[in-house]
Amino acid sequence: MFVFTIRRILQTIPVLLGVTILVFLMMHLVPGDAAQIIAGEAASQQTIDQIRERLGLNDPLPMQYFNFLLNALQGDLGTSIQSGQEVTEEVFSRFWVTLELAFYSMILSVFIGLIAGIISAVRHYTLTDALTMIIALFGLSMPNFWLGLMLMQWFAIELKIFPVSGWGSPEQIVLPVIALGTAGAAIIARMTRSSMLEVISQDYIRTARAKGVKERYVIYKHALKNALIPVVTVIGLEFGTLLTGAVLTETVFSINGLGRYIVESIQARDFPAVQGSVLVVAVIFIIVNLLVDISYRFLNKRIDLN
């Protein structure tokens, strides 16, 4: 397992390089001048040129990218053009809010998705199965920002049960978590059902039932454990999706997280902030996928990671 972990870590290096290159190029190809935005519309050309020189925007693009990469390796993500603060400090001050939102949404997705998928598989081709999959399809089809607006309209404005926006108190957490976690729950439910149906049809499940093993024990001890590998893969991918999906959810509910920070930075053409934020999200996504790969060994001892 140690050799596998080292090999997977080394494989992430070109992935991270690719992410930084793509983000760097996209931010520099977007129309607009960051120096002009900072100086304002009424600023003179001399002022704009001074800002460009101070920020290093006059350097060739390869040099700008090399400087960014070198500083990032030392933990320095640059200085925000918009605020003048260190990007590292700003990113991590908001990152924990986004991570908390994604974590709670992931718990909701896994809890609802596994239960719905198991029930649907056990009662396959029944009315319960059909209704569960229809609801899952409905949840999968709804964009999280639209669902967030609907939840806000129903439960915050009309019923006044939850606050409209913000983050921190238990009441403020409920609506954003539901809005962000619904699609993930639907995906996990459909994958759990598919994987469980495949496992339930295996010979060892029929043998266990023939021996008189209780149905609950057959489902949760034998079937579910062996059906979890593809489900865990989806859960790992969904966590990364939740981190990126938090951009819209945080904007809708006015949550000062990393997603909203990225949106504000893009609007301000604050490319150091965008590059640093995306790099942090990419690193977390890669770490989660590494943990998912390692977890396969614990779910099935026959899997050799070396």
Position 302 confidence tier, pLDDT thresholds 50, 70, 90: low
Asked if 255 contacts 179 with a C-beta cutoff of 8 angstroms, the reply is no
Stated pTM of the model: 0.80
Q: What is the pLDDT of residues 148-169, one digit of tens each?
A: 889 999 998 888 898 888 887 8
pLDDT at 122 over 80: yes
Which among 289, 290, 179 is positioned nearest to 238, based on CA atoms?
289
pLDDT at 89 over 80: yes
Token pair belonging to 81: 């053009």
Position 35 confidence tier, pLDDT thresholds 50, 70, 90: confident
Residues sharing a CB contact under 8 Å with residue 224, sequence separation 6 or more, in sequence order: 118, 196
pLDDT at 112 over 90: yes
Which domains are delineated in the chain? 87-299 (1.10.3720.10)
Asked if 81 contacts 273 with a C-beta cutoff of 8 angstroms, the reply is yes
Which among 231, 288, 236 is positioned nearest to 114, based on CA atoms?
231
Residues sharing a CB contact under 8 Å with residue 275, sequence separation 6 or more, in sequence order: 20, 23, 24, 27, 68, 77, 78
Token pair belonging to 240: 């990364």
Most confident of 181-190, 217-226, 260-269: 181-190
Which among 283, 299, 235, 291 is positioned nearest to 105, based on CA atoms?
235
Token pair belonging to 83: 């605020």
Range list of β-strands (E), the chain: none
